């Protein structure tokens, strides 16, 4: 009998596993996929780290979270910068004073309306399969419109990339902790429950209850990665495509994330296509799903041996630092 079975080797599971192990609990981690690190998983391709599930930039305003991740990886300073393309022209993004200059309008409500049409309407409709006004303001509110020349994608105090990738970082977080890959908790809940006093689950909440009340809504993505025989494809790490008729939303060119070793004469790019089906990446926070989530959360309160968290378990559009913060709070609540 172990103290904690942790379901999912993403950042949520790995953080819980580390903290509980460090405070003397016995822990086993199981992971459905054939690799650790969840959606941050990356691989070294010709010296650049390529994320399998979309580009991941670490950013936080919390010194505590920054210090926590720095225990497991050397972080290289990196500030993400993105450009946006509309009708074949490329603009500074998130919208800032340079963008107002580029569209030839004075900053103000009229220019902001134009910016919504150019940069948010098409992209958001593609990403969420619904018009801009039907998408929660908190989603689009992730992107600021700035009345300064600051063109960084994130304005957090601490930003960077783990020098040797996220997979290596999570490997260090899980050092000395047994991890069983290709193991699905839901294929034998009773068996796994019998092995541990408590279970911490970071998979989808609806799946945990056999979709008893119906499936929670998610948006997914399809990634198309290719190697091109050129030194430089787009000149920046991320180019957003905001026209509705272009089926992808953005292209990552991994060498521009500034890795220490850069391939010559070749470059790797990944196109992101929004999709209805596939891995559940983005929770769709509408009235139906909010109510459905509340019903599942109520079922959860009947099971004191089970704790649930992470982006999927909480059904929240969490960034990496928020998932780590949630895991630290959950794990420390076990002994404080």
Residues at the site binding ligand FAD, with contacts judged by CB under 6 A = 7-13, 30-33, 38-40, 53-57, 184-186, 202-203, 221, 281, 310-312, 318-321, 323
Rounded distance, CA 3 to CA 199, Å? 8
What CA–CA distances, in Å, run from 3 to 26, 110, 200, 234, 275?
Answer: 5, 59, 11, 50, 39
Residue 238 as a binder of ligand UDP (CB under 6 A): the answer is no
10 versus 95: smaller Cβ distance to ligand FAD: 10
Is the CB of 82 or the CB of 118 nearer to ligand FAD?
A: 82
Query: What is the spatial distance between Cα 137 and Cα 126, in angstroms, rounded to a whole number?
Result: 16
Tokens for 191? 């068996």
Work out how close the CB of 329 gets to ligand FAD at its nearest, in angstroms, rounded to a whole number.
14
> Least distance to ligand FAD from the beta carbon of 320, Å?
3
What are the two backbone dihedrals, phi and then psi, of residue 22, each rounded to the nearest 5 degrees? -65, -20
User: Is residue 143 involved in binding ligand UDP (CB under 6 A)?
Assistant: yes
Residues 184, 312, 69, 239, CA torsion sign: positive
Pick what 32 binds: ligand FAD, ligand UDP, none; C-beta below 5 to 8 Å, kind-dependent: ligand FAD
Q: Residue 142 binds which one of ligand UDP, ligand FAD, none, with CB within 5 to 8 A depending on kind? A: ligand UDP
DSSP 244-308: TTSS-SEEEEGGGG--SS--SS-EEEEEEEEESSSS--EE--SHHHHHHHHHHHHHHTT-TTEEE
The pairing of strands 89-93 and 250-253 is unpaired
The item of ligand FAD, ligand UDP, none sharing an interface with residue 123, based on CB under 5 to 8 Å by kind, is: ligand UDP
Q: Which is nearer to ligand UDP, 7 or 135 (CB)?
A: 135
Q: How far apart are CA 306 and CA 320, in angstroms?
A: 22
Minimal distance, residue 88 CB to ligand FAD, in Å: 25
116 binds, among ligand UDP, ligand FAD, none (CB under 5 to 8 A by kind): none
Q: Which residues bind ligand UDP (CB under 6 A)?
A: 84, 119-120, 123-124, 127, 135, 139-140, 142-143, 240, 242
């Amino acid at each position: 009998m172990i103290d904690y079975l942790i379901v999912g080797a993403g950042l949520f599971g790995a953080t819980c596993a580390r903290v509980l192990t460090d405070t003397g609990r016995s822990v086993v981690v199981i992971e459905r996929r054939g690799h650790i690190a969840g959606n941050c998983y990356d691989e070294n391709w010709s010296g650049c780290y390529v994320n399998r599930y979309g580009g991941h930039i670490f950013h936080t305003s919390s010194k505590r979270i920054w210090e926590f991740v720095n225990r497991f990886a050397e972080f290289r300073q990196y500030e993400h910068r993105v450009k946006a393309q509309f009708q074949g022209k490329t603009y500074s993004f998130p919208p800032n004073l340079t963008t107002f200059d580029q569209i030839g309008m004075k900053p103000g409500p009229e220019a902001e309306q134009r910016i919504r049409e150019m940069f948010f309407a098409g992209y958001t409709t593609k990403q969420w399969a619904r018009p801009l006004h039907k998408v929660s303001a908190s989603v689009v509110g992730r992107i600021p419109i700035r009345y300064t020349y600051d063109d960084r994608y994130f304005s957090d105090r601490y930003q960077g990339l783990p020098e040797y990738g996220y997979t290596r970082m999570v490997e260090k977080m899980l050092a000395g902790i047994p991890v069983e890959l290709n193991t699905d908790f839901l294929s034998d809940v009773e068996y796994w429950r019998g092995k541990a006093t408590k279970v911490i689950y970071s998979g989808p909440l609806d799946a945990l209850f056999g979709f008893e009340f119906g499936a929670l809504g998610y948006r997914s993505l399809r990634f198309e990665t290719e190697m091109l025989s050129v030194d430089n494809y787009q000149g920046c790490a991320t180019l957003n495509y905001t026209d509705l008729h272009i089926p992808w939303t953005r292209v990552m060119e991994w060498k521009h994330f500034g890795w220490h070793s850069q391939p010559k004469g070749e470059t790797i790019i990944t196109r992101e296509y929004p999709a209805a089906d596939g891995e559940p990446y983005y929770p769709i926070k509408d009235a139906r799903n909010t109510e459905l989530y509340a019903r599942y959360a109520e079922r959860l309160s009947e099971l004191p041996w089970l704790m649930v968290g992470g982006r999927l378990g909480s059904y929240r559009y969490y960034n990496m630092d928020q998932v780590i913060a949630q895991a630290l709070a959950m794990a420390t609540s076990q002994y404080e």
